[in-house]
Amino acid sequence: MLWGGPPRRSVFALLGLCGLLTVLPGTAASASRCARRAGVNRDRGCRHALTLGVRGIEGPQGRGWGEVKPKVIFNGGDPSGLVDHIRWRRWGSRAAIGVGRNSIFRPSGGYYPDKVRIVLRASRPRYCSPGARHLAYSHLSFRVPRKPGGQLPRRWSVWNSDMCRRLSSYRLERHGGLPRVSDGERFSIRPTRMSGWTGDGSQELGGPSSEPPVGYYPGGSFGKIDWRAWTSQRAYGRAVLWTDDCNPDCGTGSWEGFPTRVSLRRVRAGHFTRLQFACNCFHRFGYHELFEYRTPYPPQWSLIRSWRSGGG
């Protein structure tokens, strides 16, 4: 019975009915209306109108989100967030599988010169809002080897656990008149630590610490950021920029700390969207980096430019 049973079963019954309308004589108009509402080619059935999440979930630099069978997806950050030459199968089922090419990090830093094969799984189709006219896959996971030529891991890693949440849904209300900032995990005021501008987690903004962690193993401490001011327009303080030397690899490397001045500015929708470092680090005196907040998923902060004092 179409309207009986659990809601999930009813949804897929509707999908089957829409697909049937595309092949039955005299139902071309109904099929066209179904496809037109979903924003896809009119000669496709409703089940093919499923999109990969919704547009805007990765900010203005994102690609592929909210599209049907995207050949390229990009989260707007570094190259590890780009997958191209994607070929999908079983699109429209409860879980679609895609195979594409992806850049992966090298243990010594940077990326391997050749891209590797990555497997994507889009699942959990649902209506992303009460007024939505088509379903969207809301969960994306992936499997990628650790090095070129390596085997795919058995377990799936999560790329995005809720592709129905647009960037605008993360705009938080002002708390006590003060804006918040993304610390890499959540929005907060005066966070003790910050991250989210590298895709591999090889940098952390904290404070002085005599026992930093070893690689990515638990334990140790990155200290706390010393915020000197936090107003409705800007914030600034002193911190330590902890950087993993990735020797012999990032998972077991040593962390080196650089005293840093940090500042936040450009408030939009209740949170800071500009982050700037100034430190004598990476063998450069007076080194600056300016980031822009663009997406709620790592890497969240995108590098705008870097320069040395007096050079830009």
Q: What's the pLDDT tens digit per position in 211-221? A: 887 766 667 88
**What distance in Å separates the CA atoms of residue 307 and residue 298, rounded to the nearest whole number?**
24
Last residue of a domain, one of 165, 189, 206: 165
Last residue of a domain, one of 165, 186, 215: 165
Is 55 in the same domain as 126?
Answer: yes
pLDDT on residue 31: 36
Is 300 in the same domain as 209?
Answer: yes
- Of 34-48, 88-102, 243-257, the range with the lowest mean pLDDT is 34-48
Is 149 in the same domain as 186?
Answer: no
Is 188 in the same domain as 301?
Answer: yes
Domain span including residue 278: 171-308
Average pLDDT over residues 102-126: 86
Let me know how many helices (H) and strands (E) the chain has, helices first: 2, 16
**What distance in Å separates the CA atoms of residue 278 and residue 80, rounded to the nearest whole number?**
26
Is 69 in the same domain as 125?
Answer: yes
pLDDT digits (tens, 9 = 90+) for 117-165: 999 999 999 998 887 888 999 999 999 998 898 899 888 888 888 888 6
